[in-house]
């Protein structure tokens, strides 16, 4: 199954994506705002794909491998809506991570808007959440452009800076669509 937006193609992540996942998630530049840091080896990336595959079986959805329509064989990022645990709560999380060469092109915003459409219109999820570090200004702007609303700041003195929670409910989504 494939999805698309103006410039991008999306498909479920497969084990054959392990090299691309490691290339992107193993790059220290893509983890400047992630306290867990980059994937340490390809085995770690492989275990992430196994977890994502299990999550897709369990919940019926998970994040996507992302490529440009002009080069559909090359994965430039991963993202979409997936189930995660944050702040002792299970969430339908909107996330994205792109190779540095793809930054600054609006791809994360394009993916976010398509993922919200998928999550609300196709999956009928009640709420989608985006989490970013307070100092990650670009990610905050992406979530806001996609329509998510700031709802909570979570401070953890042992793991600064604060996390910011952005949410959008299906009712808010429907209201945004009516206004458009």
The Cα–Cα gap between 72 and 123 comes to 25
- pLDDT at residue 37, rounded to an integer: 78
Q: Is the pLDDT of residue 179 over 90?
A: no
- pLDDT at residue 160, rounded to an integer: 84
The whole-chain average pLDDT of the chain stands at 94
β-strand partners of 104: none
- pLDDT at residue 26, rounded to an integer: 93
Domain spanning 3-179 has what CATH number? Answer: 3.40.630.30
CB-hemisphere CA count at 13 Å for 76?
A: 20
Q: From the centroid of its chain, how far is CA 163? A: 16
Q: For 86-127, what is each residue's pLDDT tens digit?
A: 888 899 999 999 999 999 999 999 999 999 999 999 999 999
Q: How large is the average pLDDT for residues 135-142?
A: 95
- pLDDT at residue 81, rounded to an integer: 98
Burial tier of 39 (Cβ tally within 10 Å: 0-12, 13-18, 19+): buried
What are the phi and psi torsion angles at 49 (to 5°)? -65, -40
- pLDDT at residue 33, rounded to an integer: 85
Q: For 149-175, what is each residue's pLDDT tens digit?
A: 999 999 888 778 899 999 999 999 999
Q: Tokens at residue 83, please?
A: 């189930």
Lowest mean pLDDT, pick from 37-46, 79-88, 126-135, 151-160? 151-160
Q: From the centroid of its chain, how far is CA 53? A: 16
3-state secondary structure the chain: CCEECCCEEEEECCHHHHHHHHHHHCCHHHHCCCCCCCCCCHHHHHHHHHHHHHHHHHHCCCCEEEEECCEEEEEEEEEEEEEEEECCEEEEEEEEEECHHHCCCCHHHHHHHHHHHHHHHHCCCCEEEEEEECCCHHHHHHHHHHCCEEEEEECCCCCCCCEEEEEEEHHHHHHHHHHC
- pLDDT at residue 101, rounded to an integer: 97
Q: How large is the average pLDDT for residues 47-59?
A: 96
- pLDDT at residue 88, rounded to an integer: 84
- pLDDT at residue 141, rounded to an integer: 96
The Cα–Cα gap between 72 and 90 comes to 33
- Provide the percentage of residues in the chain whose pLDDT is more than 90: 86
Q: How large is the average pLDDT for residues 38-64?
A: 95
């Amino acid at each position: 199954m494939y999805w698309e937006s103006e410039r991008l193609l999306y498909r479920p992540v497969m084990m054959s994506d392990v090299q691309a996942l490691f290339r992107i998630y193993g790059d220290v530049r893509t983890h400047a705002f992630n306290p867990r840091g980059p994937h340490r080896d390809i085995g770690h990336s492989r275990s992430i794909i196994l977890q994502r595959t299990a999550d897709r079986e369990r919940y019926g959805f998970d994040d996507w491998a992302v490529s440009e329509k002009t080069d559909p064989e090359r994965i430039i990022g991963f993202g979409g809506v997936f189930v995660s645990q944050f702040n002792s709560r299970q969430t339908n999380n909107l996330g994205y991570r792109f190779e540095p060469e793809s930054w600054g092109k609006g791809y994360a915003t394009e993916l976010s808007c398509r993922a919200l459409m998928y999550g609300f219109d196709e999956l009928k999820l009640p709420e989608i959440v985006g989490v970013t570090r307070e100092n990650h200004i670009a990610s905050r702007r992406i979530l806001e452009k996609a329509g998510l609303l700031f709802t909570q700041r979570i401070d953890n003195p042992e793991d600064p800076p604060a996390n910011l929670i952005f949410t959008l409910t299906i009712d808010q989504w429907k209201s945004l669509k009516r206004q458009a």
